[in-house]
């Protein structure tokens, strides 16, 4: 999300102070995003649907860093909650004592999402999307027809007739999968059947498959 209190200072330089424990690429990237206006993901205005912040587990002096954003000065544009955000706090962020967690994922598939939060390796697609929306949203106003971007893609501010697509998608509306560079992939698009179906991949290869329910609001199960 984009927060007004953060962001570039147009009058004076922004300084990023880096301590010994934060002197690595991932932390520096997260600090740069904060300077640009991207607040910590676990403080999103809709965070209570996705994570539980456990105040009783954290150091009291650090509770201010878990304050949920104010809807009056925050924009999330059309992004979803991002467990893979480089600004998302780790499960034990500012933990008061050994054992337990200060940030706990709730809802479906918690065992997987809990392992995703707190990464400090790369900026996520959603975060680039937020920065582009904030600083480049006016560059394509003269474009006659805005491209229809699928699967969370968005209009490329540098090429207004094209979409920027989340990996592994590409194409004029993010409709295609990146081709495999290690060998043949038998399935690129699958429509689930009302019975159990087995998809087999042999050998070492990099494959991507779109699994799409036949109708809206239908659930599929992957086991």
For the chain, the average pLDDT equals: 88
Q: Is the dihedral of CA 186, 188, 193, 198 positive or negative?
A: positive
DSSP state of 183: S
The per-residue pLDDT for range 20-50, each reduced to its tens digit, is: 888 889 999 999 999 999 999 999 999 999 9
pLDDT in tens, 205-214: 788 888 877 7
Structure-block tokens of residue 130: 């937020």
Domain boundaries, the chain: 2-127, 143-178, 182-223
60 has pLDDT over 90: yes
**pLDDT at residue 214, rounded to an integer:** 73
Answer whether 90's CB lies under 8 Å from 116's CB.
no
How much is the pLDDT for 182? 65
The class level of CATH for 143-178 reads mainly beta
Confidence bin at 131 (pLDDT 50/70/90): very high
- Mean pLDDT for 109-115 is 94
End-to-end Cα separation, the chain, in angstroms:
33
The domain 2-127: what is its CATH number?
Answer: 3.40.390.10
Beta strands 189-190 and 210-211 are parallel
């Amino acid at each position: 999300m984009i927060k007004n209190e953060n962001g570039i200072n147009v009058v004076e330089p922004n300084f990023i102070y880096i301590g010994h424990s934060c002197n690595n690429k991932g932390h520096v990237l997260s600090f740069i995003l904060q300077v640009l206006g991207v607040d910590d993901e676990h403080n999103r205005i809709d965070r209570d649907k996705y994570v539980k912040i456990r105040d009783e587990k954290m150091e009291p002096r650090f509770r201010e860093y878990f304050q949920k954003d104010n809807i009056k000065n925050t924009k999330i544009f059309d992004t979803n909650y991002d467990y893979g955000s480089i600004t998302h706090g780790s499960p034990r962020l500012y933990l008061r004592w050994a054992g337990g967690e200060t940030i706990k994922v709730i809802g479906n598939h918690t065992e997987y999402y809990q392992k995703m939060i707190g990464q400090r390796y790369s900026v996520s697609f959603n975060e680039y999307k937020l920065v582009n929306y904030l600083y480049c949203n006016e560059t394509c106003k003269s474009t006659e027809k805005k491209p229809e971007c699928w699967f969370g893609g968005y209009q490329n501010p540098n090429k207004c007739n094209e979409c920027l697509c989340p990996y592994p998608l590409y194409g004029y509306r993010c409709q295609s999968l990146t081709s495999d560079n290690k060998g043949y992939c038998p399935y690129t698009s699958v429509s689930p059947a009302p019975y159990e179906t087995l998809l087999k991949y042999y050998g070492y290869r990099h494959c991507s498959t779109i699994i799409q329910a036949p109708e809206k609001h239908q659930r599929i199960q992957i086991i």
